[in-house]
Amino acid sequence: MLYARGVLPMDHHLGDGEHRVAWGFTDAGGHLPESGQEEPAYGEFNVGGHVGDDLARVMANRVALAREMGVGSGGVVFMNQVHGNDVAVVDGPWGQGPVADVDALVTTRPGLGLGVLVADCVPVVFADVRAGVVGVAHAGRRGMLSGVATRTVTVMRELGAERVVAWIGPSICGECYEVPVELAREAELVRPGVRSRTRWGSAGIDVAAGVEMELRAAEVEVNRISGCTLEDRSLYSYRRHKVTGRFAGVVVLDPAV
């Protein structure tokens, strides 16, 4: 279920005025088939409700995820992600559907989970334990180049955050994300250092590296969770299987764990 997880403060000792934060990244719940299979690759723990999988099973997985993360009755709020840089501040449960047309969520609401869905793009979770502000962001190539990660940090700071910590989750690596030469050249002009060379010798883009550079420039403490979605068959990858599930990055302020 969980590819990586953590709790802040790491020693579980709360200082004066501090909040506890739980974060995690899910996986497929087992190994997915090799590429080239005709059947959809949903695995055992798909939490994406928009990819053609059985919705009852998806919702059961989301309930299990919320329980594992110590999320309260409001559940985990997800987004209808559009590869942009808009950020929504969420102060309570969001009914049955996702927050429309945004690529980042921020909250100060204890017990409310925030989730980002990916299958090659970069999931990022954020927290400031003293200010009590958390967030998530979806950074694909376009989102990275348009600064969705720093937009998220800006909104968190407007809500009082001062010491933001970020976790960059698994995504397709720069040696596997092959793009046309002109696209790589254009990305490098906007975000110097993101152009890469794939293992096949072709042009590529390292989206996670771009997100990390962006956040470090904004004076955010950055943690990287290793893993390439194309290489690791315990993770969903759109490039490996066009019809596949989604894994999630999740964060919750003051979890019940």
Indicate whether 67 belongs to any domain. Answer: yes
Mean pLDDT of all residues in 39-65: 94
pTM for this model (two decimals): 0.95
Indicate whether 14 belongs to any domain. Answer: no
Alpha-carbon gap, residue 36 to 60, rounded angstroms: 28
**The tokens of 44 are what?**
């055992």
Residues 6+ apart with CB under 8 A from 9: 15, 18, 20, 129
> pLDDT, tens digit, for every residue of 129-161?
999 999 999 999 999 999 999 999 999 999 999
> pLDDT, tens digit, for every residue of 66-112?
999 999 877 899 999 999 999 999 998 876 678 999 999 999 999 99
User: At 34, is the pLDDT very low, low, confident or very high (cuts 50, 70, 90)?
Assistant: confident
Indicate whether 13 belongs to any domain. Answer: no
Indicate whether 136 belongs to any domain. Answer: yes
Residue 154 backbone dihedrals phi, psi, to 5 degrees: -60, -45
Residue 27 scores a pLDDT above 80: yes
Indicate whether 72 belongs to any domain. Answer: yes
State how many domains the chain has.
1
Helices (H), the chain: 55-69, 141-145, 148-158, 181-190, 207-217
Predicted local distance difference test score (pLDDT) of residue 12: 58
Indicate whether 139 belongs to any domain. Answer: yes
Give the CATH number, domain containing residue 205: 3.60.140.10
Residue 11 scores a pLDDT above 70: no
Alpha-carbon gap, residue 105 to 125, rounded angstroms: 10
Predicted local distance difference test score (pLDDT) of residue 73: 77
- CA-nearest of 55, 95, 49 to 75 is 95
Mean pLDDT of all residues in 8-13: 70
Residues in the chain: 257
